[in-house]
Amino acid sequence: METANTDLIVSPLFDVKQTTYGGRACFAREDSKEGTNILSVNRCLSSSISHEFRKEVCHNCLKYNNGKIMKVKLDRNQLVDDLLPDGKKEQVSRPKTFNGAGLWFCCDSCRDEYISQDNIIELIETFETLLAHFQSQAKRRNTASRIEEEHKLNETFMSPKIIGSNWSMIEKDWIPRIDQLKASKKARMLPLIYEEEYQCCRFVAQTLFNLKYTDPNSVLMKTFEALQSNEQSRIHKFPILLDSQTKVFQTLYVLLPFSLKPLLTISLFRHILGSEYGNAFGIWQDGESNDSREYLGFWIVPQASYFNHSCSPNVDKKRIGNKLTFTLNSNVVAGQQLCIDYSGILSLDVHKRQEILSENWFFQCGCEKCQLELQTIH
């Protein structure tokens, strides 16, 4: 668990400080009233729409229209140059048409906003390569043998030592071997990937792309670098993840364009996925009750990842499109801890809450409410 970096400045309204029960957390700097907005984040580091919902969620504003297919995509025959705004056209050196990047949008203006991001063609071309590769493997996929393989892998024991040796083998053995091959042969050496790994390739590629263009001294970068990694506990619980992550790394190592490849180090790759496990925010369908809303994907918002969970939270988090806001739901005094609810299980009894948080989030909840109830309820 990360313990060192407690001097992160995220908001003028709170400090990030060490707790005695659960790593770092956010503490109010001053007395503040219920309804105060303590953090709004307009820029996530990356997001991942579940494969199942890829055509039903807008890749720009995250709108979901109860299962309706999004109206707009990057058309295969459309000239990139025609869509790029003035001043961004130099991103393409020769006439290029889109080639299927797996990006859907709710309307033309969302597509145009997406495509007007700086250097975005680099990422779109990476998505095109990944999609073409994923589709080229379609005939080889066999769901029954995948399930069998999953069962087998999930029965293996994964210690930190095994995880470490896996990556050192990739570094010392697999990379030098693949580096010697011609480009055409490299692609043939790639492992078969399924939907989860394909989505994960896209997620890591998007993260690398955004990191490449993020100021190293920005709050976004500082908070990303200091994120807590849950790699070990997650792989310990789902051993198949190590195999899956290895395939994602191998696929990206061969398919990433020259512009992104230098960023793909094993340690950054492990940090991206390890910190995703404990810090990702779910992208949930709006306006439905907790029981019936769809889980559309997840996003990484490092600036907002230092709130601990409480079973009696004083901060409400709300997603409005692709923005995330955090608002006090009660008055707080200077020094008071600011906590959100991770789980949507606040109405359950303390033992059930502890069990679910431990199973799904890998921590024993040390919030005040649980501590109090554990002392009094047996």
For ligand SAM, the closer of residues 305 and 322 by Cβ is 305
Q: In the set 366, 371, 373, 374, which binds ligand SAM (CB under 6 A)? A: 366
> d(Cα 313, Cα 330) in Å, to the nearest integer?
9
User: Which listed range, 17-25, 67-75, 97-105, 248-256, lies at the site for ligand SAM (CB under 6 A)?
Assistant: 17-25
> Please, what is the minimum distance in Å from the beta carbon of residue 28 to ligand SAM?
16
Helix ranges restricted to H, the chain: 80-83, 108-115, 120-136, 143-154, 160-169, 175-179, 183-188, 195-212, 219-225, 231-237, 240-255, 266-279, 350-361, 368-376
Query: Residues near 226 by Cβ (< 8 Å), separated by ≥ 6?
Result: 2, 5, 8
User: Which listed range, 21-29, 57-65, 155-163, 266-274, lies at the site for ligand SAM (CB under 6 A)?
Assistant: 21-29
> d(Cα 209, Cα 212) in Å, to the nearest integer?
5
> Please, what is the minimum distance in Å from the beta carbon of residue 359 to ligand SAM?
13
What is the per-residue burial (b if ≥16 Cβ within 10 Å, else e) of 325-344?
bbebeeebeeebbbbbbbbe
Q: What is the DSSP letter of 320?
A: E
What residues numbered 243-282 form the site for ligand SAM, per CB under 6 A?
Answer: 278-279
User: Which listed range, 23-31, 44-52, 87-95, 120-128, lies at the site for ligand SAM (CB under 6 A)?
Assistant: 23-31
User: Which listed range, 18-26, 77-85, 194-202, 211-219, lies at the site for ligand SAM (CB under 6 A)?
Assistant: 18-26
- Please tell me the count of residues contacting ligand SAM according to CB under 6 A: 20
Tokens 């990356």 label which residue?
Answer: 46
> d(Cα 50, Cα 71) in Å, to the nearest integer?
18
For ligand SAM, the closer of residues 3 and 292 by Cβ is 3
For ligand SAM, the closer of residues 23 and 100 by Cβ is 23
Backbone φ and ψ for 255, nearest 5 degrees, come out as: -100, -15
> Please, what is the minimum distance in Å from the beta carbon of residue 137 to ligand SAM?
34
What residues numbered 213-232 form the site for ligand SAM, per CB under 6 A?
Answer: 228, 230
Residues that bind ligand SAM (CB under 6 A): 2, 21-25, 228, 230, 278-279, 305-306, 308-309, 361-363, 365-367
